[in-house]
Amino acid sequence: MPDPKPPSLPGFPQGSRSLRILFPLLQAALLITATFAFMTGDSYRGNWAVLAFVLTFLPGLLERAAGAAIHRGVRVAIALALFLHSAGGIYGWYFLYYPVYDKVAHFTSSAAIALMVFLFLLFLATFTEIRVGRRAMVALIILSVLGLGSLWEYGELTVDLLMGSTYFLGWYDSVGDMLANLAGAATVAYVPHRCLNRYPVEAVFRFFVSLHRT
């Protein structure tokens, strides 16, 4: 297993104290949101909020399995995206602050997904023979997010047809959602576009991930 120790980038930064505090606060907010949904009889959204809470533990489980520590900013981005989508429906923020809230939620979610895709590609490049070039990495990040975003829009339309809900607000809204998804993905994709042009992939990897030593 390679042990990259590049001098080009700073050492692995776990993140500020505010990020360390924000993550459990977002988890608590998800639990409160789920409880509110069940208390108001919205068990459907409440179940999704519980699932979102469970998913916030996924990065920690992956860290233990891989023997690594992922930058706290990535974990916070994932938890924030899950909270925004859960709370938006349960508290009615999607409708109260439409269309701004909807687009902010899509931007945040797409950025979180793009970060996960980016880290996955960094792991592949660092610990396997698979090498993805800078331009290909940027393209994969953006295309992955847009592909998942398209499935999300199709899912909203399907749920509306089956349950009579109002998640899908029209094609103009879907276009706006996809533009927000593109903006979030492009924001994250700018990191490999810029960094991999100056630093080796191992250096970029170590900026986001710290390997535990045994």
**Per-residue confidence in pLDDT tens, the chain, 214 aa:** 444 444 445 545 555 678 889 999 999 999 999 999 999 999 988 999 999 999 999 888 878 877 888 888 888 999 999 999 999 989 999 889 988 999 999 999 999 999 999 999 988 888 888 888 889 999 999 999 999 989 987 877 777 777 666 665 677 778 888 999 999 999 999 988 988 888 888 888 888 888 765 4
Q: What are phi and psi of 40, to 5 degrees?
A: -95, 10
Other Cβ atoms less than 10 A from the Cβ of 172: the count is 9
Instruction: Report if pTM > 0.95.
Output: no
Q: What are phi and psi of 99, to 5 degrees?
A: -95, 0
Q: What are phi and psi of 85, to 5 degrees?
A: -70, -40
Distances, alpha carbon 14 to alpha carbons 4, 140, 153, 208, 214, in Å: 18, 26, 35, 8, 19
